[in-house]
Amino acid sequence: MTPFSPAPDFLQATLAGHFGQTRQWHTDTLQLEWLDEGVLAIAPRQPLAANLDCVLLSTGIHGNETAPIEVVNGIVNDLLAGTLPLRCKLLVMLGNPAAMRSGARFVDYDMNRLFNGAHRQQPQAQESARAATLERLAADFFHAAPAGSHRLHYDLHTAIRGSVFEKFAIYPYTDGRAHQREQLLWLESAGVTTVLLHSKPSATFSYYSSHHCHAAAFTLELGKARPFGDNDLSRFGDIDRALRLLLSAATPALPAYDASRFALFSAKYDLLKHSEHFVLHLADNVENFTPLPHGMTIAEDGAIRYVADGGEERILFPNPKVDVGLRAGIVISPCQLG
């Protein structure tokens, strides 16, 4: 029987629906297992060390965020072709193939609000079953990590809207664990120096793997979402290069941490949409990280008024069109590492 393989192109094979039962195969240097639609585990056949780092790269959690999907696909294809060496255990996930096929952010429900068990509240959404599957596969991957190995998860996105800071990371709530300066330095090597330190649990994939799998996990927002073929991949060169170095264990010595090179923010509060009367007093095309002048009414919802305070607050992820009960934006402010 011919060994099954998504080569020569993992993305095209996934979009074409080439997935049936669990399939394992190997190349000269790699052991591979296609675990589910768009989910591929890759490890060196003859690891040089017992405690290889475990890296999860997920992308396409939002199906229309195509540039990071193309970046990750290029890396996978080079690994499969043997032109990029692998010196860690890698799990690659193309998060929402159904939405990717239709060029949509999601089919039934925003998948990045369905992790950490939130999928159980939306059983009707097709993304719920998928989120549960991705949780299980991520947990299996990290729980099998050798003692002493690093567990890393980068969930790659692009944003709906423009941003004052083109690239930024969300460091999910760490449940009280210290923020890792070396991770911020790695992000800097990937061209990301704006970081939101989240202050409470959320239903995102990165919080799931941070909370349940104790991975150093990040949601990376790497630019603006565009359709397949419309991306200027040169704008994604830094992350592409940094990921390739990470996977081949060739990350150069990173400089000492210097707070002045980073713009760190913490979430102050969510703009919650309590009712259909919610009104956001920001332009439809307002960019992420737009400053909110002191005293400005950011949003109103019946008797509730959200008013900017202090002059250093900024808006993140404004979206008044979300369903009632959901977050319509985050008000953030500058912070330092503790």
CB 160 within 8 A of CB 63: no
Piece of the chain touching Zn ion by CB under 5 A; list 150-158, 186-194, 208-216, 322-330: 150-158
Q: How far is the CB of 159 from Zn ion (least distance, A)?
A: 7
In whole angstroms, how close is the CB of 52 to Zn ion at the nearest point? 29
Nearer to Zn ion by C-beta: 14 or 58? Answer: 58
Q: Which residue is nearest to Zn ion (CB)?
A: 157
Instruction: Select from 56-64, 82-90, 261-269, 275-283 the region that touches Zn ion (CB under 5 A).
Output: 56-64
Region of 16-24, 57-65, 114-122, 315-323 interacting with Zn ion (CB under 5 A)? 57-65
d(CA 296, CA 87): 51
CA dihedral 230, 234, 235, 239 (to 10 degrees): 120
Residue closer to Zn ion, measured from CB, 53 or 221: 221
Per DSSP, which regions of the chain are E strands?
Answer: 23-26, 30-36, 39-44, 54-59, 89-94, 151-159, 168-171, 194-197, 216-224, 263-272, 279-280, 290-291, 297-301, 304-307, 314-316, 327-334
Nearer to Zn ion, 151 or 157 (CB): 157
Q: Which is nearer to Zn ion, 157 or 198 (CB)?
A: 157
Write out the two tokens for 178.
Answer: 């210290």
Which segment (39-47, 55-63, 126-134, 302-310) binds Zn ion by CB under 5 A?
A: 55-63
Q: Which is nearer to Zn ion, 157 or 244 (CB)?
A: 157
**Minimal distance in Å, beta carbon 8 to Zn ion?**
27
With respect to Zn ion, which residue has the nearer C-beta, 106 or 141? 106
Instruction: Return d(Cα 85, Cα 30) in angstroms, integer.
Output: 9
Which residue has tokens 């998928």? 130
The nearest distance, CB 18 to Zn ion, in angstroms, is 25
Rank residues 14 and 158 by Cβ distance to Zn ion and give the closer one. Answer: 158
The number of residues that bind Zn ion (CB under 5 A) is 3
What are the angstrom distances between the C-alpha of 129 and each of 48, 114, 202, 207?
37, 10, 18, 18
Q: Please check whether residue 205 is in contact with residue 122, taking contact to mean a CB–CB distance below 8 angstroms.
A: no
**Contact predicate 187/218, CB 8 Å:** yes
What are 214's two structure tokens?
A: 């104790």
Is residue 221 part of the annotated active site? The answer reads yes
Residue 119 near Zn ion by CB under 5 A: no
- Helix, strand counts (H, E) of the chain: 7, 16
- What's the min distance (Å) between Cβ of 70 and Zn ion? 15
> Residues 155-174 vs Zn ion: string with x where CB under 5 A?
--x-----------------
- CA torsion 248→252→257→260, rounded to 10°? -100
Instruction: Assign residue 175 a region (left: φ > 0; alpha: ψ between -120 and 50; beta: otherwise).
Output: left
Asked if residue 222 lies in contact with residue 165, where contact means CB atoms within 8 angstroms, the answer is no
Residue 66 CB, nearest approach to Zn ion (Å): 11
Segment 59 to 78, residues that bind Zn ion, using CB under 5 A? 62, 65
Which 208-267 residues touch Zn ion, going by CB under 5 A? Answer: none
Please give the structure tokens belonging to residue 167: 């690239």
| Smallest separation (angstroms) from Zn ion to the CB of 176 | 27
Name the one range near Zn ion by CB under 5 A: 48-56, 151-159, 237-245, 328-336: 151-159
Choose, from 135, 166, 188, 221, the residue flagged as catalytic: 221
Interacting residues with Zn ion (CB under 5 A) = 62, 65, 157
User: What are the residue numbers of the active site?
Assistant: 221
